[in-house]
Each structure stands twice: as structure tokens, then as C-alpha cells.
């Protein structure tokens, strides 16, 4: 919370000082004092956020700084980006379903992009459910996930169409299965990035 407020140009000095005191007391195993300082830190943060709002005729309204704070805290930037990506890839699948490059249909990449967009939204929802705020999708790095997923989806289609991994099904069922595999590949883009990064470090 403090990081999101600081990145939104909200003065968090008082809150940060009490937060440090809470950590010191916690390290000393003074749990009661640690909770008191922590509550005071949250109070000071709330006061700083309210102080950053516009005040018109006794009423407070959100400013750009406070809106930025809540967008960063709850991952609304990632939610908006993920939602727009879903609409974009859905449109591309509908509009260019028959397009292909080197006999590889582009819907393979688009379905992977759809999966990566679902991954972003799922990650934000999981963070909010578990921690009450976003912890993984705070930076703009997630904007690269759909782009990488396009490559992974394209390669996933090549892998399955090459016959290395075969489905015992008719042509139509195999197409639907490949679509699902491409979507799943996109959904697992973050996992693939981690695995490929480890492989590159071991080379």
C-alpha cells in the first residue's frame, strides 16, 4: 500500500515512519506495540490519501493522485489491459480466422493471446482474493505477456501439427483440441517464461 501511494506522489512520510516502528517492535517480539504502530501507520496513510483529494464545499473528491493509487493498489490497469486484450484477440479470431503464415493459421497465435489475457485477469483476481491487493501485476511487464504468447501459440500449433504429439480424433475434433492447446499455452505464458529463463541460465 505504501509503495502504491508513493508511486502516486502521495506523501507517506508519517505512515512510513510508524510502519518502520512497527517492524522494529515486531522484531523485538513486542507484538502489542507492533500492532499499535501498524494501526497508526494505516491511519496516517488513510489521512494522507484523504489529504490528496480535492475538497469542494466540504466534500472530498478523488484527484488524479488518489485515482492512480487505487488503480495501482487493485491492479485496475492490468484489468483494463487484460479486458481490452480479450476483446482484441476475440475480434482477430473472428475477423482473420482463415489467415495463415507458412500454412500455420493465425488463430493459433490469437487463441494463445486470448489465454494470456485470461492469465492476467486470473492473476489479478487471485491476488485480490488472497492478499486484498495486487502483488504480481504491479509493473508494466505484464503488457509483454500477450506478445510472447503469440509466439508460443504459433509454435504450439507447429508442435502438434508436426505429429510429434498426436490426437486420436477426427479432423474437426483435432482442430478444436489444437485451439484449446493454443489457449492453454497462452494461459501458461508466465510459467513458460520462467522455465525458458532457467534453461537459458543453465546453457
Q: Is 68 exposed, middle or buried (0-12, 13-18, 19+ CB in 10 A)?
A: buried
pTM, rounded to two decimals: 0.72
Distance of CA 45 to the CA centre of its chain: 25
pLDDT tens digit sequence for 149-192: 999 999 988 888 776 555 555 566 778 888 898 999 999 988 88
CB atoms within 10 A of CB 11: 17
Q: What angle do CA 28, 30, 34 make, to 5 degrees?
A: 105
Say what the pLDDT of residue 200 is.
77
Q: What angle do CA 42, 43, 45 make, to 5 degrees?
A: 65
pLDDT tens digit sequence for 8-37: 667 777 777 777 877 877 787 777 878 887
Amino acid at each position: 500500500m505504501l509503495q502504491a501511494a508513493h508511486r502516486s506522489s502521495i506523501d507517506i512520510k508519517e505512515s512510513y515512519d510508524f510502519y518502520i516502528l512497527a517492524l522494529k517492535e515486531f522484531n523485538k517480539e513486542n507484538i502489542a506495540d507492533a500492532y499499535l504502530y501498524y494501526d497508526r501507520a494505516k491511519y496516517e496513510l488513510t489521512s494522507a490519501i484523504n489529504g490528496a483529494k480535492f475538497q469542494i464545499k466540504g466534500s472530498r473528491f478523488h484527484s488524479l493522485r488518489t485515482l492512480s493509487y487505487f488503480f495501482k493498489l487493485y491492479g485496475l490497469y492490468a484489468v483494463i489491459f487484460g479486458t481490452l486484450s480479450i476483446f482484441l484477440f476475440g475480434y482477430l479470431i473472428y475477423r482473420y480466422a482463415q489467415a495463415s503464415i507458412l500454412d500455420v493459421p493465425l488463430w493459433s497465435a490469437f487463441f494463445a493471446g486470448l489465454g494470456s489475457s485470461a492469465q492476467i485477469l486470473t492473476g489479478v483476481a487471485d491476488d485480490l482474493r488472497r492478499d486484498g491487493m495486487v502483488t504480481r501485476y504491479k509493473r508494466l511487464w505484464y503488457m509483454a505477456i500477450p506478445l510472447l504468447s503469440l509466439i508460443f501459440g504459433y509454435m504450439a500449433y507447429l508442435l502438434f501439427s508436426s505429429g510429434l504429439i498426436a490426437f486420436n480424433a477426427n479432423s474437426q475434433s483435432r482442430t478444436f483440441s489444437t485451439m484449446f492447446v493454443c489457449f492453454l499455452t497462452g494461459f501458461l505464458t508466465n510459467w513458460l517464461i520462467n522455465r525458458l529463463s532457467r534453461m537459458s541460465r543453465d546453457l
